[in-house]
Amino acid sequence: MIAAMTNVQVCTHPLTQHLLTRIRDYQSPSGDFRRHAGQMSRFLVYEAMRDLSTRAAGVETPMGLAAGVVLTDYIVLAPVLRAGLVLCEAAQELFPNARIYHIGLRRDETTLQAISYYARLPESLPAESRVFILDPMLATGGSATAAISLFAEHGVSTIHLVSFVASPEGIKHVHSQFPEVMITTGAIDDCLNDNGYIVPGLGDAGDRLFGT
Ligand code: PRP
Ligand code: URA
Q: Block means of pLDDT (10 residues each) for the chain, length 212 residues? A: 75 98 96 97 97 96 98 97 98 95 95 96 93 98 98 95 98 98 98 97 97 89
* Candidate from 112, 135, 185, 202 with most ligand 2 atoms within 8 A of CB, to mutate: 202
CB 201 within 8 A of CB 165: yes
Q: What is the pLDDT of residue 71?
A: 94
Residue 197 Cα: closest atom of ligand 2:
6
- Please give the C-alpha separations between residue 94 and each of 42, 71, 97, 100, 123, in angstroms, as whole numbers: 9, 12, 9, 13, 26
Q: In the chain, how many domains are there?
A: 1
Asked if the structure places residue 38 within a domain, the reply is yes
Asked if the structure places residue 56 within a domain, the reply is no
User: 207 C-alpha vs ligand 2 centroid, how far in Å?
Assistant: 9
* Candidate from 107, 110, 171, 210 with most ligand 1 atoms within 8 A of CB, to mutate: 107
At residue 20, what is the residue type? Answer: L
In sequence order, what DSSP letters do the residues of 47-93 get, joined into one string?
Answer: HHTTT--EEE--EEETTEEE--EEE---EEEEEEETTHHHHHHHHHH
CB 136 within 8 A of CB 79: no
**Domain housing 13:** 2-51+74-210
Residue 83 Cα: closest atom of ligand 2:
3
Q: Which residues are catalytic?
A: 107, 111, 204, 207
> In a 10 Å sphere around its CB, with 0-12 CB exposed, 13-18 middle and 19+ buried, how is residue 168 labelled?
middle
The model carries a pTM of 0.96
CATH number at residue 164: 3.40.50.2020
Q: What is the DSSP letter of 7?
A: T
Name the closest ligand to CA 163.
Answer: 1
The whole-angstrom separation of Cα 36 and Cα 39 is 5
From the CB of 112, is ligand 1 less than 6 Å away?
Answer: yes
Asked if the structure places residue 63 within a domain, the reply is no
Which residue's CA is the closest to the ligand 2 atom numbered 1? 204
Asked if the structure places residue 61 within a domain, the reply is no
Asked if the structure places residue 9 within a domain, the reply is yes
Q: What is the pLDDT of residue 22?
A: 97
Asked if the structure places residue 175 within a domain, the reply is yes
User: E strands within the chain?
Assistant: 2-5, 8-10, 54-56, 59-61, 64-66, 69-71, 75-81, 99-100, 103-107, 114-119, 130-134, 137-138, 158-166, 182-188, 191-192, 198-199
Which residue's CA is the closest to the ligand 1 atom numbered 1? 137
From the CB of 107, is ligand 1 less than 6 Å away?
Answer: yes
Q: What is the pLDDT of residue 4?
A: 53
Asked if the structure places residue 187 within a domain, the reply is yes
Asked if the structure places residue 34 within a domain, the reply is yes
